[in-house]
Amino acid sequence: MVMNSKKLDMLIIGGGPAGLAAAIKAKESGIDNLMVIERSEELGGLLHQCIHNGFGLHYFKEDLTGPEYALKFINKVDKLGINYLLKTMVLDITPDKNVFAINSENGLIKFSPKTIVLAMGCRERTRYNILIPGTRPAGIFTAGNAQRLINVEGYIPGDQVVILGSGDIGMIMARRLTLEGAEVKAVVEILPYIGGLIRNEVQCLNDFNIPTFLEHTVTEVYGSDRIEGVEINRIDKNGKKTLSTGRYIKCNTLLLSVGLIPENELSIKAGVEIDQVTGGPIIDENMQTNVPGIFAGGNVVHVLDLADNVSLESEIAGLSASKYLSGELHRSHKKIKVSAGKGIRYVVPHYISGKEGINLYMRVSNPEENATLKITDKFNNKIIYEKKFQALKPSEMVCTMITEDNINLINNESGEIIISCNKKE
């Protein structure tokens, strides 16, 4: 039974860096009747467990830790008097934008907002997403879960650790565990290169002399009650383990840093179309999804490397939702599809509906040196944009700005532009 029903101008789902940035931007653009819904007991999301520095270098021009970065947004939310509900879980969103949420104080709550900003973030891939063979003992954690245990709850998961995956969280946990007295016996990466930012390779792995095995993966887990060890093996280009390279590593903990998945169960219920590559909603440059009035920002759209970019993209979502409410967000132009071509894994946004300059965020498929990014008009194969890069890595998001002039070069008959990464000839 629905206990009460609330009419709102804007409902923001998620109180992490994405949701807060969207809410602040919306409130500053004059939207008062808005609400942020957060499932945990405080605002700020995962930033509270990210106690390391490196946040805010772009956004605030300051080197902040996760909690400090979160606090800047939380203080602003309080100062602006933005309404939020904590310990509240959104259960359902209907395509006509009715939202059902639940908490222990109010029971079931129905919201009927005019616009919704999806800001649910992402979650970690687990052992079952990557199918690691072996027994099923205790002691296998996702890296982010271990991060929460160590930095917030005050528990060390184990003292002999193998980390599978060299994403940023994995490397940061290698340093964190070493500082707390654990022995990190290996960081194991299936790809021929480190998965996260180079700065983390330097300050988390190299600084602490942590053994790193590239082109390797865990091929067996040993132990019955608690994990006792893992076998790692070299993996060839076809993804098969090479014989006679097996190595047994004794450990009592295995951390998995094997990727993140945007959390879009609610988006799908609302009828939002999902890009199978990013795992997030298909959006235009206003961060609007295919459902009019539903916007999305941050890691729910595509997994970003930096919280700063989460904030920046979500501000666009908040601002666009405000414009939608005031009727300023009309599509006066033809929608142009933005496609990933050769060497590009994905590009966001998926559509351009206006004529103003915008940022394109993309990931390359493979590491490339001295490469050129080209945007080609599919209609007449004309190049509308070109930029050279010294080095491009799949682990580092490429952000490039295309101007109004570039967009004006697109032929009126064209419906699609293609971005490609081209090696030097």
Partner 1 sequence: MNIKKIICLGCPLACNINVEINKDEIMRVRGAKCKVGKKYAIQECKEPRRVLTTTIRTTEADRPLLPVRTGDSIPKESIAECMKIMSKKIISPTIKAGDIVIENISGTGVNVIATGNLFGSEK
Q: What are the structure tokens assigned to 102, written together? A: 């639940």
CB of 62 to partner 1, least distance (A): 11
Inter-residue contact 210 to 216 (CB < 8 Å): no
- Tell me how many degrees the CA angle 67-314-374 measures, rounded to the nearest 5: 115
CB of 309 to partner 1, least distance (A): 10
SS3 annotation, 9-20: EEEEECCCHHHH
Amino acid at 309: N
* Residues forming the site for partner 1 (CB under 8 A): 42-43, 48, 51-54, 57-58, 63, 65-68, 70-71, 74-75, 77-78, 150-154, 179-180, 197-199, 202-203, 207, 305-306, 396
The helix/strand/coil state of 263 is coil
State which residue, 187 or 197, has the beta carbon closest to partner 1. Answer: 197
Q: How far apart are CA 396 and CA 366, in angstroms?
A: 11
Find the farthest-apart pair of alpha carbons in the chain and give their distance in angstroms, rounded.
66
State which residue, 14 or 54, has the beta carbon closest to partner 1. Answer: 54
State which residue, 147 or 314, has the beta carbon closest to partner 1. Answer: 147
17-28 helix and 66-79 helix, angle to the nearest 10 degrees: 30
State which residue, 254 or 307, has the beta carbon closest to partner 1. Answer: 307
State which residue, 55 or 351, has the beta carbon closest to partner 1. Answer: 55
Residue spans of alpha helices (H) in 39-155: 66-79, 127-130, 143-148
CB of 424 to partner 1, least distance (A): 18
CB of 26 to partner 1, least distance (A): 19
CB of 66 to partner 1, least distance (A): 8
Inter-residue contact 49 to 98 (CB < 8 Å): no
Q: What are the structure tokens assigned to 78, written together? A: 């309080």
State which residue, 151 or 278, has the beta carbon closest to partner 1. Answer: 151
Cross-strand pairs, 36: 12, 84
- Tell me how many degrees the CA angle 126-210-146 measures, rounded to the nearest 5: 35
State which residue, 195 or 229, has the beta carbon closest to partner 1. Answer: 195
Inter-residue contact 25 to 321 (CB < 8 Å): no
Inter-residue contact 253 to 139 (CB < 8 Å): yes
